[in-house]
Amino acid sequence: MADLMENVVNLCKRRGFIFPSAEIYGGFRSTYDYGPLGVLMLRNVREAWWKSMVQCRDDVVGLEAAILSPPAVWEASGHLGAGFADLLVECRSCNTRHRQDHLDDPDKCPSCGSTGTFTEPRAFNLMFKTHVGPVASEDAVAYLRPETAQGMFLNFANILQTTRKKPPFGIAQIGKSFRNEITPGNFVFRTREFEQMELEYFVPPDDGPKWYEYWCEQRFNWYVDLGIAPEKLRLRPHDADELSHYSAGTSDVEFEFPFGWGELEGIAQRTDYDLKQHAAASGEKLEYFDQATGERYVPFVIEPAAGATRTMMTFLLAAYSEDEVEGETRTVLRLDPRLAPYKVAVLPLSKKDTLTPLAREVLARLQSNFMTDYDETQSIGRRYRRQDEIGTPFCVTVDFDSLEDKAVTIRDRDSLEQVRVPIDALVTELRDRLTV
């Protein structure tokens, strides 16, 4: 299992999925840049989530809220209090800092092995603080959001008025969040800058438990539908001592990572805590009036919250495999086609001028329909292997027979099956194969 993590990290760097940020300056801990393939796959993860949560539903709308916000927002939400802080300890021997709850042995430093050298734990708030405007005064303090959720609560009344939705309905958002983690690590699993995919689903208070169960099932099945084996996933309810102060119940969708079971997504019953907090702090009413019944209430909220970057890493780990083809080891990313960076690769059998124009014509036909790669360097076998390694579901080979019969060969990444298809039918054939 440890080899799997190392193999995927190496693949990400070698093939252009993920690079360490500011690498030419020695890197900047816990920050990563998404390369030519990574940016495509990350976009596909977002789009798969958005399609499931917004496009295919009539009870959810989208939002893109600001990243910067004033202290009043975070005072009301509780993020500036002790509840949004980790307990930090420092080793007096080697001066490394650790989250107390992440230590296997509370008395032994994992960095230098010394015992009994930790300082007393102190609270460390995770918020990133900054200033807006030309003067760095207390009046100009602002914070980078540590979660996307609060922007959806702040806009609850605006969305009620502009969309005429009524509970149960949801607000969905994908965006960057920032947490000053004490001990980030495990590649992109835990970073200080990350991207969230969150839904706030507003329901009548009595319906909270029903919708909580519904969203636990929906979110677990989303990962399975996109190719993660069910036995590599579990839905783990939080124990009472794990629950956030606002939660009436939380479950995590967990994946069996090489370093152990870890959270992919949390589904929380946030009750009416957030809306009531912001209503009290702002003086604005954040409630729903049911004209049919004359009832006025503050909705309860069910929140499925996932990390886009962590989710992408998980799909890479789940898809990585090695097999043997013609006596050679082949590395394959068996990504669901919806997640693969390139859907199709066009591979001319030769770089000769007689073949290149037709290969370019085939490429042009495909580019307006699919994200497509074009590769004409080295042997056709090596090019197949490169495409397998980055997860491309189909390769289209243009050969010298194509000049005569106006047909090309489609090669399937997983089955290795090859079929001859007329160029005029190519787009339709590929669309049928890629449609899930």
pLDDT for res 327: 82
User: Would you state the structure tokens that stand for residue 130, as one six-digit string?
Assistant: 């900054």
DSSP annotation of 51: I
Contact between residue 189 and residue 310 where contact means Cβ atoms under 8 Å apart: yes
User: Would you state the structure tokens that stand for residue 148, as one six-digit string?
Assistant: 């996307």
User: Would you state the structure tokens that stand for residue 318, as one six-digit string?
Assistant: 């789940």
- Report, as an integer, the average pLDDT of 86-98: 79
pLDDT for res 83: 62
Q: Sheet harboring 128-131: ordered strands across?
A: 68-69, 141-144, 128-131
When comparing pLDDT for 111 and 232, which is higher? 232
Residue 80 has pLDDT above 90, yes or no: no
How do beta strands 169-178 and 141-144 pair? Answer: unpaired
Contacts (Cβ under 8 Å, ≥6 apart) of 206: none
pLDDT for res 51: 98
Q: What is the pLDDT of residues 283-303, one digit of tens each?
A: 999 999 999 899 999 999 999
Q: What is the pLDDT of residues 232-242, one digit of tens each?
A: 999 999 998 88
Q: What is the pLDDT of residues 362-415, one digit of tens each?
A: 999 999 999 999 999 999 999 999 999 999 999 999 999 999 999 999 999 999
Using a 10 angstrom Cβ sphere, with 0-12 exposed, 13-18 middle and 19 or more buried, the burial of residue 98 is: buried
Q: Does this model's pTM top 0.95?
A: no
When comparing pLDDT for 137 and 119, which is higher? 119
Percent of the chain at pLDDT > 90 equals 76
What distance in Å separates the CA atoms of residue 79 and residue 77, rounded to the nearest whole number? 6
What distance in Å separates the CA atoms of residue 74 and residue 421, rounded to the nearest whole number? 59
Amino acid (1-letter code) at residue 151: G
Q: How confident is the model at residue 137 (pLDDT cuts 50, 70, 90)?
A: confident
**Which CA distances in Å does 328 have to 320, 322, 355, 385, 388?**
17, 10, 29, 10, 13
Q: What is the pLDDT of residues 26-65, one digit of tens each?
A: 988 889 999 999 999 999 999 999 999 999 999 999 999 9
Using a 10 angstrom Cβ sphere, with 0-12 exposed, 13-18 middle and 19 or more buried, the burial of residue 219 is: buried
Domains of the chain, with CATH numbers? Answer: 2-67+146-316 (3.30.930.10), 342-434 (3.40.50.800)
Give the torsion through C-alpha atoms of 82, 86, 90, 96, to 10 deg: -150
Contact between residue 296 and residue 288 where contact means Cβ atoms under 8 Å apart: yes
Amino acid (1-letter code) at residue 281: A
The sign of the torsion formed by the CA atoms of 288, 291, 292, 294 equals positive
When comparing pLDDT for 176 and 325, which is higher? 176
What distance in Å separates the CA atoms of residue 201 and residue 267, rounded to the nearest whole number? 11
